[in-house]
């Protein structure tokens, strides 16, 4: 449907190819007009990457350089693919395929299955967990709900990294994956899971990619047919591709190089799923003649927010940090980010809810406010606090809008009214489109005033209210729009998964917030043990946590609030500290000793080799020097011997396994009696606490714990490691 009048929601399509380029900055225009050869776009947060690549496709199509049916644009979520299709439609580029990797592969697999394999294609299972549960039952292994989810995640990781069950233990150990079950046991469950699928003639989402790869590898005639169809590829969020997705992309391409990839290594936050930025950073190695274009003009956030975002990355380490982009805000100045410390988590939630209430009362729309947290478990406290403050909200990451039962029922009712409305007395007094939609939806539970409180009733009302607001927007853009026009718009939006705006504050995890933006963002729970999360221990895991916070910061357009609580519950010990990532950035915090790194400037590089953003070849290696012991929780330099054994401050949060610590204490008591020595001569309590916190898996890890060393590993290592692994240790005659 094309709007008759210009509106931000229903804009007119540009009237020519050159008009498509209007309003693009020099770097975006370079992206849009560089239509041949390999192109790598390094695009920082808020720099208009989706705008650049959709205008690139639209310009190529409108100029007659690209055939719409020969273009395949690939991204990672249905929402992002839907947004891309919507933008291409608005730009007049009809017929371009914009899909997720899985959607594109499934379409090809369904089409070629009869020819490549024969018979009916297996049913696609929409959930893994029931199949994992049946596999566990077949193996006589009991898994609770969390363990089922963890095992399903490990199976997904193994499949996207193309790891078969027999190779899983070695592959998991090589990359340091931490699991709730033994690696050999997970491999056994993985194998049983594959047997269950085979017996039931079902496949999972990873199988869609694996089978498509297999067909394209084995059947050259089919591969050539696909390559004849798709001759130009655009891949968004390229930093998130897995090895399996990269292999599929290579098979789609063949020996051609009409490829444009877009990404930002500083927004790599899904490595636990197998995603890696290496394909983005190594693009020039695979395509030596590639054009590299850097987008650093930030159109989303104020200079104050951009300054904080740049400061976060300036402290980062690792390869992704070496290639970071220094953002330059293009927006007017705004307020400084607000840092707030609360006594406990309920007080934090209440304080945030009251601030949001004040913002809404001052005229800020609820839909332009978000509360972002590290884990989904934090959501409930904020749901209750917002409900108590009378603030409407929606949960991000829940059921897709057009899949909600109330939206489906509303669609049926609206479709019926559009067809037979002249016979419906409820529409007699409805004189325009909004009043017609309100009349129809009144029969589905919509009321002019929202219901009190929170929960399912309020969420259903918010869904229907979003349809009412969409009708008002359409009527404003097209004064003569009918109910049939509105139903057609809903159908197009459902196909593109382009949901209307729900008028409520968004509650979302940092992972779920990727790709979204709001005028006001509250980042809550920004404390050690949460950001970075407790189980992030390696340098790589810590750096991913920093990038996750960076993603959260860069979701804000105008105002940003960061907060943390000193204790979990009222009256608790105030032992928490604000995240180490905020050191040197929040007022009054200590400066970090981390090196600042120079960010890449925007521009175009038409090089002939190297990496996408390689450091100077003449850079001298950094001298190695002994660094002071630092707390692994807050980063403070440690001087106390006991704290150095724990590798954390005495009052920093502990992730110690209390049960393991008690078992180690009991074991030490027996050893001390046997040797006739005080218990501390075996191991001090601090050393046992350090063991219970790190839970070593082998002698090397045990020996590296301060207070252990090689000699004690030789004497006690076998028994200590057995206790850590949860196995029974024969304490002999010393046992009481």
How far apart (Å, rounded) are the C-alpha atoms in residues 611 and 597? 18
How far apart (Å, rounded) are the C-alpha atoms in residues 692 and 714? 19
- Classified as helix, coil or strand, 314 is helix
Cβ atoms within 10 Å of 127's Cβ, excluding its own: 10
Q: Are 508 and 372 in contact (CB under 8 A)?
A: yes
- Is 49 annotated in some ligand binding site? yes
Beta strands in 264-349 (DSSP E): 291-295, 297-298, 328-329, 338-344
- Is 43 annotated in some ligand binding site? yes
How far apart (Å, rounded) are the C-alpha atoms in residues 296 and 299? 9
Q: What are phi and psi of 731, to 5 degrees?
A: -85, 0
- Is 506 annotated in some ligand binding site? no
**Residues contacting residue 33 through CB under 8 Å, at least 6 positions apart:** 21, 56, 59
Q: Is 376 exposed, middle or buried (0-12, 13-18, 19+ CB in 10 A)?
A: middle
Give exposure, 634-646, as e/b (b: 16+ Cβ within 10 Å). bbbebeeebbbbb
From 241, 315, 371, select the one nearest 635 (Cα to Cα): 315
| DSSP class per residue in 572-633 | ------B-GGGTTTSTTPPPP-SPP-PPBPSEEE--SSS-TTPPPTTPPPPPP-PPPPB-TT
The phi-psi region of residue 185 (left if phi > 0; otherwise alpha if psi is between -120 and 50; otherwise beta) is alpha
- Is 690 annotated in some ligand binding site? no
Alpha-carbon 468 to chain mean position: 31
How far apart (Å, rounded) are the C-alpha atoms in residues 505 and 520? 10
- Is 46 annotated in some ligand binding site? yes
How far apart (Å, rounded) are the C-alpha atoms in residues 235 and 117? 29
Cβ atoms within 10 Å of 445's Cβ, excluding its own: 15
Torsion of CA 181, 182, 187, 191, to 10 degrees: -50
How far apart (Å, rounded) are the C-alpha atoms in residues 70 and 718? 62
Q: Are 87 and 61 in contact (CB under 8 A)?
A: no
- Is 171 annotated in some ligand binding site? no
Residue carrying structure tokens 């050690």: 528
- Is 703 annotated in some ligand binding site? no
Q: Is 537 exposed, middle or buried (0-12, 13-18, 19+ CB in 10 A)?
A: middle
From 355, 425, 427, 426, select the one nearest 391 (Cα to Cα): 355
How far apart (Å, rounded) are the C-alpha atoms in residues 258 and 231? 7
- Is 44 annotated in some ligand binding site? yes
Cβ atoms within 10 Å of 647's Cβ, excluding its own: 18
Give how far Cα 288 sits from Cα of 34, 39, 296, 610, Å: 16, 11, 23, 7
How far apart (Å, rounded) are the C-alpha atoms in residues 480 and 130? 50
Q: What are phi and psi of 647, to 5 degrees?
A: 60, 35
Order of strands, sheet of 39-43, starting from the edge strand that comes earlier in the sequence: 97-100, 71-75, 232-235, 259-263, 39-43, 291-295, 603-605
Q: What DSSP character marks residue 374?
A: S
How far apart (Å, rounded) are the C-alpha atoms in residues 400 and 404? 7
Residue carrying structure tokens 């696609």: 124
Cβ atoms within 10 Å of 711's Cβ, excluding its own: 9
In this structure, the strands spanning 291-295 and 603-605 are: antiparallel
Binding residues: 43-50
Binding residues for ATP: 43-50
């Amino acid at each position: 449907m094309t709007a008759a009048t210009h509106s931000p929601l229903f804009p007119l399509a540009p009237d020519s190819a050159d008009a498509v380029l209007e309003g693009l900055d020099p770097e975006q225009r370079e992206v849009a007009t560089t239509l041949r050869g390999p192109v790598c776009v390094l695009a920082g947060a808020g720099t208009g990457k989706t705008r650049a690549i959709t205008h690139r496709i639209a310009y190529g199509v409108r100029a007659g350089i690209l055939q719409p049916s020969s273009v395949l644009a690939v991204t990672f979520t249905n929402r992002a693919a839907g947004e891309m299709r919507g933008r291409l439609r608005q730009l007049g580029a009809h017929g371009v395929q914009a899909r997720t990797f899985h959607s594109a592969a499934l379409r090809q697999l369904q089409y070629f299955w009869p020819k490549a394999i024969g018979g009916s294609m297996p049913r696609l299972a929409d959930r893994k967990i029931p199949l994992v549960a049946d596999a566990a039952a077949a193996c006589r292994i009991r898994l609770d709900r969390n363990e089922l989810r963890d095992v399903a995640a490990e199976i997904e990781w193994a499949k996207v990294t193309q790891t078969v069950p027999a190779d899983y233990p070695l592959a998991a150990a090589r990359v340091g994956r931490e699991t709730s079950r033994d690696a050999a046991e997970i491999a056994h469950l993985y194998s049983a899971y594959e047997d269950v699928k085979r017996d039931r003639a079902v496949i999972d989402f990873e199988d869609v990619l694996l089978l498509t790869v297999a067909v394209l590898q084995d059947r050259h005639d089919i591969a050539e047919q696909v390559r004849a169809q798709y001759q130009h590829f655009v891949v968004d969020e390229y930093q998130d591709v897995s090895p399996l997705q990269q292999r599929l992309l290579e098979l789609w391409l063949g020996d051609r190089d009409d490829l444009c990839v877009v990404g930002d290594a500083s927004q790599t936050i899904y490595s636990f799923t197998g995603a890696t930025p290496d394909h983005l950073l190594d693009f020039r190695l695979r395509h030596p003649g590639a054009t590299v274009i850097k987008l650093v003009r930030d159109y989303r956030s104020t200079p104050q927010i951009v300054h904080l975002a740049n400061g976060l990355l300036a402290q980062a380490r690792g390869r992704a940090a070496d290639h970071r982009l220094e953002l330059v805000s293009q927006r007017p100045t705004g307020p400084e980010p607000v840092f707030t410390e609360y006594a406990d988590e309920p007080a934090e939630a209440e304080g945030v809810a009251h601030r949001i209430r004040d913002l809404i009362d001052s005229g800020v729309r609820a839909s332009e406010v978000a509360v972002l947290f590290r884990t989904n478990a934090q959501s409930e406290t904020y749901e209750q606090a917002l409900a108590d403050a009378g603030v409407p909200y929606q949960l991000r990451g829940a059921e897709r809008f057009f899949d909600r039962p109330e939206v489906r029922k509303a669609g049926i009712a609206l479709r019926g009214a559009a067809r037979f409305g002249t016979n419906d007395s409820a529409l007699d007094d409805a004189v325009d489109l909004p009043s017609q939609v309100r009349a129809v939806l009144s029969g589905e539970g919509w009321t002019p005033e929202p219901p009190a409180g929170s929960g399912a009733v309020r969420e259903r009302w918010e869904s229907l209210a979003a349809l009412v607001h969409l009708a008002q927007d359409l009527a404003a853009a097209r004064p003569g729009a009918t109910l049939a026009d509105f139903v057609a718009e809903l159908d197009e939006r459902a196909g593109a998964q382009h949901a209307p705006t729900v008028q409520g504050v968004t509650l979302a995890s940092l992972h779920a917030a990727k790709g979204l933006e709001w005028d006001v963002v509250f980042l809550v729970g920004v404390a050690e043990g949460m950001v970075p999360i407790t189980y992030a221990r390696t340098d790589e895991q810590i750096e991913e946590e920093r990038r996750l916070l960076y993603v959260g910061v860069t979701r804000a357009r105008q105002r940003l609030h960061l907060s943390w609580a000193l204790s979990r519950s009222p009256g608790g010990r105030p032992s928490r500290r604000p995240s180490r990532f905020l050191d040197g950035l929040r007022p009054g915090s200590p400066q970090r000793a981390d090196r600042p790194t120079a960010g890449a400037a925007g521009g175009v590089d038409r090089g002939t080799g190297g990496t996408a953003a390689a450091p100077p070849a003449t850079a001298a290696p950094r001298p190695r020097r002994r660094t002071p012991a630092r707390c692994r929780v807050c980063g403070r330099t440690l001087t106390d011997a006991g704290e150095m054994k724990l590798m954390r401050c005495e009052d920093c949060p502990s992730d110690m396994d209390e049960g393991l610590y008690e078992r180690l204490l009991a074991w030490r008591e027996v050893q001390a009696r046997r040797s006739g020595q005080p218990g501390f001569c075996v191991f001090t309590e601090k050393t046992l606490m350090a063991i219970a916190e790190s839970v070593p898996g082998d002698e090397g890890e045990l020996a590296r714990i301060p207070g252990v060393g090689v000699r004690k590993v030789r004497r006690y290592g076998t028994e200590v490691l057995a206790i850590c692994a949860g196995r029974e240790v024969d304490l002999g005659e010393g046992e009481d």
